[in-house]
Amino acid sequence: MSKTNTPFIGVFDSGLGGLTVLKAVHAALPGVALRYVADSGYAPYGGRGADYIIDRSLAVAGHLLSLGAQMLVVACNTATVHAVEALRARWPQMPIVAIEPGIKPAVAATTNGRVGVLATVATLASGRYQALLQSHAGEVLVFSQPCPGLVDQIETGQLERPELLALIERYCAPLREARVDTVLLGCTHYPFVQPAIQAALGPQVRLLNIEVAVAKQVKRLWDGAGLPSGSAEPDIALSTTGELAPLQRLGRLALGGDFPAQRASI
């Protein structure tokens, strides 16, 4: 992607999961240009330390800003809980919309007082996640299930692999045993395998994700800033620090079409 004079929203994730957020933002602002970076060459963030996550988030955000982004969307729970404060400190005038586990809506949704959270190890270990639990869980029992390796499997773009389905079963089994009635998908990658997660948990369990809420916040800030709504034709460009084929495959699945995709050196 090259620098452009067209106002655009920069969206990034540790990998391909943020495409689910990109889809929701495009639905909310269909005429606004979008530029997406998947940091797949340095993923997953979920098993990394905070310093690593902050460094990569600053690098990718700086890349998007150098191209002319008018707003940033951190489409990654792990990057949000570890790096969003550093991003806002570096660029205090830049509107930055972040995503984080929706503990509050999950607690509001449960009817039996038992909620499950599927997320990366780094997200669940973060102080921000613990603060959300302290603020919103109340009397509700929250069962936090780390999912090491799941992002790696989804990143291949091959969503029917037996190895992937086996991991989903492994991580959903404790939540079934805990008799949760609501499960929060605490990573933007997980909606790509939401049908498999639903099948593993059973039809009685309600699944929640927060991509639409993030998109509404993006639209509110974009419209409030008086930025142009763009053209009728979708202007979406994808890039990755990893391999192109998985980005193209999941980009097609998320967005319903083929959009320009290229490698990025960041």
Q: What share of the chain is helix, strand, coil (3-state, %, to 5)?
A: 45, 20, 35
Check if 187 is active-site: yes
- Tell me if 46 is assigned to a ligand binding site: yes
- Tell me if 82 is assigned to a ligand binding site: no
- Tell me if 120 is assigned to a ligand binding site: no
* Residue 111: Cβ within 10 Å count: 8
Check if 76 is active-site: yes
| Kind plus residue range of the DSSP H or E element containing 121 | helix 121-125
Residue 161 carries which DSSP code?
A: -
- Tell me if 223 is assigned to a ligand binding site: no
Q: Of the residues 87, 150, 187, 254, which is catalytic?
A: 187
- Tell me if 188 is assigned to a ligand binding site: yes
Burial 138-153 (b: 16+ CB within 10 A, else e): eebebbbbbbebbbbb
Residue in the structure block whose two tokens are 């957020």: 21
- Tell me if 230 is assigned to a ligand binding site: no
Residue 136 carries which DSSP code?
A: H
- Tell me if 13 is assigned to a ligand binding site: yes
- Tell me if 156 is assigned to a ligand binding site: no
Q: Of the residues 76, 97, 99, 119, which is catalytic?
A: 76
List active site positions: 76, 187
What are the binding residues for substrate? 13-14, 45-46, 77-78, 188-189
What are the binding residues? 13-14, 45-46, 77-78, 188-189
